[in-house]
Amino acid sequence: MPGKPFKRKVIKNSFHHIPSIGLLFAFCIANHPISFKLMDISETFKTIVDGFKLMLLTCTILVLAWSIGSVTKDVDLSGFVVSSIKEGTSFSLVPGIIFIVGALISFATGTSWGTMAILTPIAIPIAYKLAGDAWLSVTVMSGVVFAGSIFGDHCSPISDTTVLSSTFASCDHMDHVNTQLPYAVFTAFVSLIMFILYGSFKISPFVLIFIGLVLIIALARVLHVYSLRRYQFSEKTYAGS
């Protein structure tokens, strides 16, 4: 189409102005505390520099993760993995395995985006070869990869979001990690069961959502009673406090 080259040129040229737009945005943000006398000029620019330092690690992780994603694409890692799968392999455990692998990678690297870039090109072709359903392969496996990636990133002590959360809350970093870990593991355990049920029986996701909610409520109640007994509280004492 005649309009496509012009459109590509406009998009390409627009990327050249991103640094200028970023500097203008930073200037506008910096002007706010100075105008309202919340901070002086030196304190404002010191805060901006500290913010750049915090985001530098995140940008580095993302660039490296995208580099790994490009390498895996160039060496056709997904094609190698798919060709290694034997005919007749069951699809039942694939969602659960991909979920666990995604959680481990994101926990080790501290980035959910990087894990998605690495794992998505591998998970979808595997699912399509085993199930032969393009819709299932794209939608379900994308959800599985995203869930595992976000879980690991949420729990990882080297994750940018975890570091920023503990920093801005002014709490000890490892205390923040240790207190959020039980809740994340609890929901991840329920999610893993739902993925295995879907892979084994192809139950509707809407039914699985309902089953998952019931299971979460039931397990939360069991853990609540267990914690009361462990710390020698009664229901009335707990309710009265």
Question: Using CA atoms, how far apart are residues 200 and 214, in angstroms rounded to an integer?
Answer: 20
Q: How confident is the model at residue 241, as a pLDDT?
A: 53
H/E stretch holding 33 reads helix 18-35
Q: How far apart are the first and last CA of the chain?
A: 71
Which is nearest to 130 in space by CA: 116, 115, 140?
Answer: 140
Closest CA to 105 of 159, 160, 55, 177: 159
CA 146, CA 95: separation in Å to the nearest integer? 12
According to the model, what pLDDT value does residue 111 have? 78
pLDDT tens string for the chain (241 positions)? 455 554 455 455 555 666 677 777 777 877 878 788 788 888 888 887 887 777 776 677 667 766 776 777 777 766 776 677 666 678 888 999 999 988 988 888 777 887 888 888 888 888 888 888 888 888 889 999 999 999 988 888 878 778 778 777 778 878 888 988 988 999 999 999 999 999 998 888 899 999 999 999 999 999 888 888 887 776 665 555 5
| Domain boundaries defined on the chain | 38-202, 204-241
Determine the Cα–Cα distance for residues 133 and 127; give it in Å rounded to an integer.
8
* Cβ neighbourhood burial of 147 (10 Å; 0-12, 13-18, 19+): buried
Residue appearing with tokens 């690297």:
109
Q: Give pTM, 2 decimals.
A: 0.71
**Helices 173-201/205-230 angle, 10° precision:** 140
What is the model's pLDDT at position 158?
78
Beta-carbon contacts of 114 under 8 Å, excluding residues fewer than 6 positions away, are: 61, 62, 64, 65, 66, 68, 69, 106
Show Cβ contacts of residue 8 under 8 Å, excluding neighbours closer than 6 positions. none
pLDDT of residue 195: 93
What is the reported pLDDT for 153? 86
Tokens coding 68:
């790994």
